């Protein structure tokens, strides 16, 4: 497998509609194999590559099996969360998922996405810590004094951000701004679901030696036309199921969340990353010859760093799910 995106010519019958840093989205065309009862225009194929990012760069060296590990992990979580929210997955097997990407792609319902990144934090770190140190708040919400990098929060917090166009950074926004964007009923539902998903994920992972410090989820809607103003969606429509809030994208993976090893967890310093620590340690070591503050791209990873990192992804999957990866 390579770091190159899967091009449309690798997937006859599909058209590339979006390329992210690590994943691509395709629209099935008239020749694509579809599940019974589905029309191509209602579906998307979401493909996870083996690319990995570190320090805001996509590395030139892929991590074998990463796309498959994360795809399977996300599917496992969708099941664990099914009583909280319906999810977008329609098919996971060939021929509905083309052979060339089988295992690391899913066919999903094409949804009207909420224009918000729904982030929740169980521990204080990163951008949340920065705001707290400046003002004692996170996402405008006041927190107790004395918290440090890694501290567990009294309750998980909803700390939404904008969905920035490719290449730009998502900006934190307040809950009030979310309400202005999508209206009170959808904002409240998205906030509550996001916090419940993190609570559940944090609890399950903690029993298995992994701390999910924070996570980002994305929701899409069913029952809302493309042209309709989201602010007009009512509480009653959500309660009756006329409008359904569906969990989309990927969920509770190391790419959408911070995973920390529970062993050795100690607030007051930066926590090691469950999955990326080998990569970070090597990139910042003298051996790499790379300066993370320069604009030069990072060098290729040595084989042992690749193997160690692959093993951590597989370990995360196996610990969480109790299944063997292969
Ligand atoms: P980045 O690489 O920074 O994450 P990105 O968000 O543009 O950039 P991806 O995460 O790979 O790239 O893109 C996935 C895109 O697919 C997101 O824009 C997400 O909102 C969208 N998406 C996920 N699930 C669905 C769905 N069921 N229907 C429609 N769009 C979806
Ligand atoms: Mg994304």
Q: What is the mean pLDDT of residues 216-220?
A: 98
Q: What is the mean pLDDT of residues 104-132?
A: 97
Burial of 184 (0-12, 13-18, 19+ CB in 10 A): middle
Ligand 1 atom nearest residue 163's Cα: 6
Q: What is the model's pLDDT at position 296?
A: 94
Confidence of residue 1 (pLDDT cuts 50, 70, 90): very low
SS3 for the chain is CCCCCCCHHHCCCEEEEEECCCEEEEEECCCCCCCCCCCHHHEEEEEECCCCEECCEECCCCCCCHHHHHHHHHHHHHHHCCCCCCECEEECCCCCCCHHHCCCEEEEECCEECCEEEEEEEECCHHHHHHHHHHCEECCEECCCCCCCCCEEEEEEECCEECCCCCCCCCECCHHHHHHHHCHHHHHHHHHHHHHHHHHHHHHHHCCCEEEEEEEEEEEEECCCCCCCHHHCCHHHHHHCCCEEEEECCCCCCCCEEEEECCCCCCCCCCCCCCCHHHHHHHCCHHHCCCCCCCCCCCCCCHHHHHHHHHHHHHHHHHHHCCCCC
Mean of the per-residue pLDDT values for the chain? 95
Evaluate if residue 107 carries a pLDDT over 90: yes
Q: Which two tokens stand for residue 158?
A: 């909803």
Query: 69-73, 121-125, 166-170, 287-291: which has the minimum mean pLDDT?
Result: 166-170
* CB distance 106 to 71 below 8 Å: yes
**Percent over 70 (pLDDT), the chain:** 97
Q: What is the mean pLDDT of residues 166-185?
A: 93
* ipTM of the prediction greater than 0.85, yes or no: yes
Q: Which ligand is nearest to the CA of 45?
A: 1
Question: What does the alpha-carbon distance between residue 120 and residue 159 come to, in Å, rounded to a whole number?
Answer: 6
Q: What is the mean pLDDT of residues 103-123?
A: 98
**Percent over 90 (pLDDT), the chain:** 93
pLDDT tens digit sequence for 219-243: 999 999 999 999 999 999 999 999 9
What domains are there in the chain, each with its CATH number? 14-110 (3.30.200.20), 113-260 (3.30.470.20)
Confidence of residue 2 (pLDDT cuts 50, 70, 90): very low
Kindly give, in sequence order, each residue whose CB lies less than 8 Å from that of residue 183, ignoring residues fewer than 6 positions away: 230, 231, 232, 233
Confidence of residue 69 (pLDDT cuts 50, 70, 90): very high
Evaluate if residue 149 carries a pLDDT over 60: yes
Evaluate if residue 244 carries a pLDDT over 50: yes
Residue with CA nearest ligand 1 atom 8: 20
Question: What does the alpha-carbon distance between residue 16 and residue 6 come to, in Å, rounded to a whole number?
Answer: 9
Question: What does the alpha-carbon distance between residue 308 and residue 277 come to, in Å, rounded to a whole number?
Answer: 10
Q: What is the model's pLDDT at position 7?
A: 56
Q: Which two tokens stand for residue 136?
A: 């004692």
Whole-prediction pTM: 0.95
Confidence of residue 9 (pLDDT cuts 50, 70, 90): low
Question: Pocket around ligand 1: residues whose beta carbon is below 6 Å from it?
Answer: 18, 20-23, 25, 44, 88, 108-111, 113, 166, 218, 220, 248-249
To test the pocket of ligand 1, the residue of 91, 218, 226, 253 to mutate (highest count of ligand atoms within 8 Å of its CB) is 218
Q: What is the mean pLDDT of residues 185-206?
A: 98
pLDDT tens digit sequence for 26-47: 999 999 999 999 999 999 999 9
Q: What is the model's pLDDT at position 5?
A: 58
Query: What's the CA-to-centroid distance between 250 and ligand 1, angstroms?
Result: 9
Residue 120's alpha-carbon distances to 51, 116, 288, in angstroms, are: 25, 12, 34
* CB distance 273 to 315 below 8 Å: no
Residue 88's alpha-carbon distances to 74, 95, 216, 250, 307, in angstroms, are: 11, 18, 16, 10, 32
Evaluate if residue 257 carries a pLDDT over 90: yes
Ligand 1 atom nearest residue 166's Cα: 7
Evaluate if residue 3 carries a pLDDT over 60: no
pLDDT tens digit sequence for 76-98: 999 999 999 999 999 999 999 99
Q: What is the mean pLDDT of residues 269-283?
A: 97
């Amino acid at each position: 497998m390579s770091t190159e995106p899967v091009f449309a010519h690798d997937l006859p019958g599909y058209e590339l509609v979006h390329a992210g840093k690590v994943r691509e989205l395709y629209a099935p065309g008239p020749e694509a194999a579809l599940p019974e009862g589905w029309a191509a225009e209602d579906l998307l194929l979401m493909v996870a590559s083996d690319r990995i990012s570190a320090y805001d760069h996509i590395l030139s060296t892929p991590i074998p099996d990463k796309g498959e590990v994360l795809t399977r992990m996300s599917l496992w979580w969708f099941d664990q969360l099914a009583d909280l929210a319906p999810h977008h997955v329609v098919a996971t097997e060939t021929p509905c998922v083309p052979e060339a990407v089988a295992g690391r792609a899913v066919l999903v319902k094409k949804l009207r996405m909420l224009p918000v990144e729904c982030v929740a934090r169980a521990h204080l770190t990163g951008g949340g810590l920065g705001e707290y140190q400046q003002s004692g708040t996170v996402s405008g919400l006041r927190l107790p004094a004395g918290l440090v990098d890694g501290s567990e929060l009294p309750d998980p917090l909803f700390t939404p951000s904008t969905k920035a166009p490719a290449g730009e950074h998502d900006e934190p926004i307040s809950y009030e701004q979310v309400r202005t964007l999508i209206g009170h009923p959808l904002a409240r539902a998205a906030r509550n679901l996001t916090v419940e998903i993190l609570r559940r994920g944090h609890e399950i992972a903690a029993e298995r030696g992994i701390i999910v410090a924070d996570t980002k989820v994305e929701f899409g809607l069913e029952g809302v036309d493309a042209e309709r103003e989201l602010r007009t969606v009512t509480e009653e429509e959500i309660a009756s199921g006329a409008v359904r809030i569906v969990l989309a994208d990927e969920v509770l993976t190391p790419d959408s969340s911070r995973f920390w090893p529970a062993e050795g967890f100690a607030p007051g310093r930066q926590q090691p990353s469950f999955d990326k620590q080998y990569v970070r340690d090597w990139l910042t070591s003298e051996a790499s010859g790379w300066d993370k503050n320069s604009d030069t791209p990072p060098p290729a990873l040595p084989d042992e760093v690749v193997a160690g990192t692959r093993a951590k992804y597989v370990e995360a999957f196996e610990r969480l799910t109790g299944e063997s990866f292969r």
